[in-house]
Amino acid sequence: MDAAMILRDLADDGYQVVEQDLGEETFAMMNTSKAPFDDIRARKALTYATAKADYLEFIGQGELRSADSWFPPESIFHNPDVKQEADMPEMAAPLVAEYCGDNPDNCSDGKINMEFQYSGPSVIQDRIFDVLAAGYEPYFNVTKDMLLQDDHITQTAIGQFDFLTWRQMGARNPDGDGVWIVCDAIGFLSLNWPRYCSPERDEIIFEARGNTDRDAVVQAWKDVAVNVQESYTYVMLTHTLWNATYDPKVRGACDFTFPDGTEPYCRGTGGGYGSYSTMWFEE
């Protein structure tokens, strides 16, 4: 957020500052292919113990919007009935006790052993670790695993993690993000990062892909949001805020219209803003 606030000040000098948080989401993930998060009790306990309010206060600084799913409220695919569970540590304690009773080798001192992986070195990522780990530590023995970003991505793809923070999703057409959550994407190199297979979810996604009824497709992705929540594999944190700041001489950032003269929502690849193919500089 510090960088975004600095860029905002450039508007006083004529720079074009555009912000939006509709293109990507920030969330955490659990690896369901190995202990401890192959057990939904451990996944639920971690979800309930997530200090999301502290995350929004200390990391979001009042600027980042809380996320309940991969779809912001402005999206037609947003399901208002889906709410991210968090900040309920009292519900974590009995699940941890039950899990450790059944899996003593995965626990120490009555807490579940887990690794928290993230990319660095990064001051903000260290802060995120500190905030989230503080919420987990009454119920989990948290081991920090900070890796360079390329190693972090590789470890994620091959399933060498327990829990990590991530930023992704936000495709204009959510079918484009389907590859990250279907069963066929699980393998030695997995694009389905949590390695969680839900045949029910696959059926919803594939039926939506072949459906020409827009209302049915919208409802399908609302159902996917419910399925994702009930799997307890992701913890949604915020809608990622992107800032695109252009020189005062940049023109054509969003100079395109539909045949009827209306203008589409102006967003570039990922979380970016603008159509780079139409940009030009004023002399």
Domain count across the chain: 2
98 and 191 part of one domain: yes
Query: Which residues, other chains included, contact 44 with Cβ-Cβ below 8 Å and sequence gap of 6+?
Result: 91, 92, 95, 232
Question: Position of tokens 């990622």?
Answer: 240
165 and 258 part of one domain: no
253 and 183 part of one domain: no
102 and 16 part of one domain: no
- Give the side-chain half-sphere CA count within 13 A for 259: 0
273 and 177 part of one domain: no
164 and 269 part of one domain: no
Domain range enclosing 62: 24-240
pLDDT per position in the chain (283 positions), as tens? 677 778 888 888 888 888 888 889 999 999 999 999 999 999 999 999 999 999 999 999 999 999 999 999 999 999 999 999 999 999 999 999 999 999 999 999 999 999 999 999 999 999 999 999 999 999 999 999 999 999 999 999 999 999 999 999 988 889 999 999 999 999 999 999 999 999 999 999 999 999 999 999 999 999 999 999 999 999 999 999 988 888 999 888 777 788 898 877 666 555 566 677 788 899 8
User: Has this prediction a pTM greater than 0.85?
Assistant: yes
240: tokens are 């990622």
Q: Where are the beta strands (DSSP E) in the chain?
A: 16-20, 25-30, 65-66, 107-108, 111-119, 140-147, 163-168, 234-239, 242-246, 250-251, 280-281
